[in-house]
Amino acid sequence: MIGTIVNTACICAGSIAGSFLHRGLNEKYSDALYTAMGLAAAGLGINTIVKYMPQSEYPVLFIVSLALGILIGTALDIDGRFNRFISGKSGGSNLAQGLGTGIMLYCIGALSILGPIQSALYGDNTYLFTNSTLDLITSAVLASTYGTGMLAAAPVLFCWQGGIYLLTLWLGNFMSDALMAEISVVGGFMIAASGLSILKIGNFKTMNMLPALLVPPAWFVIIHFVN
């Protein structure tokens, strides 16, 4: 778990450092950073899709995942509950959008998923330490745009990576490269949608898509028992 602890600490450190810059930004520069964050998120999402879709063994699984996920998320009103909770704490909706984007960027990526798996199976924290460096920079930029509230993404990352770590210890090699590819494709669409929302190209309620991440593991469990 040391890799996950370091990753969480880096997000905290980056968020604190970036928040000091946030206090001195006027609206013009803040809007410019919003645009940069939107472009970066959209680009990272598209890159993830392009990278992992050719590795998919079930080409329509991501469509089913997104469809089922957003139906479940909409029924549960995850996005609405999240926004109301954050807005109640901060008095505005920008932080909710920033946290949603930060959680996607920190949690949905090859290093953040594969890192805990490598750590659990082989005791190798290389991927997590690399991810920590990237998240340190990303969190600083996000906090310079959205403020200290971005610290709330750190415990989410800890629970996410900690959950993958413990699940891998329990399931062993079930967390395969094939499963990671399917999750990454779904996550890529979610990150891209988050970026497009920041750019105001569309109003994608990405938090409602979160249940989509559970569909590929459920599918692999069904395939495992059927075979």
Inter-residue contact 98 to 149 (CB < 8 Å): yes
| pTM greater than the 0.85 cutoff | no
| Tens digits of residue pLDDT in 32-60 | 777 887 788 788 888 889 988 999 889 89
Contact criterion met (CB below 8 Å) for 112 and 163: no
Separation of CA 223 from chain center: 26
- pLDDT tops 70 at residue 27: no
The pLDDT of residue 174:
62
Q: Distance of CA 211 to CAs 74, 76, 114, 123, 193, Å?
A: 10, 10, 19, 29, 15
- What residues make up the domain containing 54? 2-226
pLDDT in the model for residue 8 = 94
Q: At what angle do helices 215-226 and 61-76 cross, to 10 degrees?
A: 120
Q: Shortest CA distance to 107 belongs to which of 154, 54, 39?
A: 154
Average pLDDT of span 78-106 = 72
As for how many domains the chain has, the answer is: 1
pLDDT for 173 equals 60
Q: For the segment 107-162, what is each residue's pLDDT rounded down to a tens digit?
A: 876 678 778 887 887 788 887 887 888 788 888 888 887 888 888 889 989 998 99
Residue with tokens 């993830």: 48
Query: What is the phi-psi region of residue 123: left when phi exceeds 0, alpha when psi lies from -120 to 50, beta otherwise?
Result: left
Neighbours of 225 (CB within 10 A): 7
In the predicted structure, residue 66 carries a pLDDT above the cut 90: yes
